[in-house]
Amino acid sequence: AQSVTQLGSHVSVSEGALVLLRCNYSSSVPPYLFWYVQYPNQGLQLLLKYTSAATLVKGINGFEAEFKKSETSFHLTKPSAHMSDAAEYFCAGSGGTSYGKLTFGQGTILTVHP
Amino acid sequence: GAGVSQSPSNKVTEKGKDVELRCDPISGHTALYWYRQRLGQGLEFLIYFQGNSAPDKSGLPSDRFSAERTGESVSTLTIQRTQQEDSAVYLCASSLAVGGLGVEAFFGQGTRLTVV
């Protein structure tokens, strides 16, 4: 069954520093992978998605993620953090035996301090 | 409508009462999902609909939970005899097709349920 694991429930970075949020998936077949962001008191918003067209995916707000099959990873990065990036980030996957189900990781809360 | 709409936005209910949560998906979206988000936890899958059918109900926590969808549109999640552990934000999402096709799911703002 598809599962998605996010390493680190909380990540704290300084403004201007690199953001790295980790996501690993397990699946018997290449999955579809997504990163969503949830700002305080708001709904989930799609940041980017991987659908096998390209392994490096660029999303909104300067975020990007690289699909690495050998590592079963889909880590989210941003070169320079901004205060407005503070939010909770969710990695999600679908495909394989869980074709119809979008499975989410536990979420990572990103804190950006001055 | 322009987005996924959920109602009510907040619901406080007494333990043992039944509650109904409503989701209006984006017009034309055939797939509809329900998730639960407990405080400090990730999104827990409950059920999804393809049209009016629910191929996967495996996430429903107990037989107190049920959901239906009519007219390939509105969906209702019903929780009978609510318990305090049911307190959570219930999120609804919709997409043009089932998630396995890599299609984006659009989320509503959620219903915050508090059982006292």
The answer, for A10 touching chain B at a CB cutoff of 8 Å, is: no
- Determine the Cα–Cα distance for residues B92 and B29; give it in Å rounded to an integer: 12
DSSP B58-93: TT--STTEEEEE-TTS-EEEEE-S--GGG-EEEEEE
User: B109 and A43: CB-CB below 8 Å?
Assistant: yes
User: A106 and B56: CB-CB below 8 Å?
Assistant: no
- Determine the Cα–Cα distance for residues B45 and A60; give it in Å rounded to an integer: 25
- Determine the Cα–Cα distance for residues B37 and A81; give it in Å rounded to an integer: 26
Q: What is the per-residue pLDDT across B15-29, written as a single tens digit (0 to 9) for each?
A: 999 999 999 999 999
Chain B, nearest residue to A43 by Cα: B109
How far does the CA of residue A62 sit from the closest CA of chain B (Å)?
Answer: 19
Region A75-101 average pLDDT: 86
How far does the CA of residue A42 sit from the closest CA of chain B (Å)?
Answer: 6
Among B44, B60, B107, the residue to mutate for chain A (most A Cβ within 10 A): B107
Q: What is the per-residue pLDDT across B85-99, written as a single tens digit (0 to 9) for each?
A: 999 999 999 988 765
Residue A92 has which token pair?
Answer: 């999600």
Most confident of the ranges A23-27, A51-55, B51-55, B62-66? B62-66
H-run or E-run covering A12: strand A10-14
Under the banding of pLDDT at 50, 70 and 90, the label for residue B5 is: very high
Contact residues, chain A, for B30 at CB < 8 Å: none
- Using CB atoms, pick whichever of A34, A90, A100 lies closest to residue B55: A100
User: A104 and B109: CB-CB below 8 Å?
Assistant: no
Contact residues, chain B, for A94 at CB < 8 Å: 99-100, 102
Under the banding of pLDDT at 50, 70 and 90, the label for residue A96 is: low
Task: Say if CB B84 and CB B115 are below 8 A apart.
Answer: yes
A–B CB contacts, 8 A cutoff, strictly below: 69
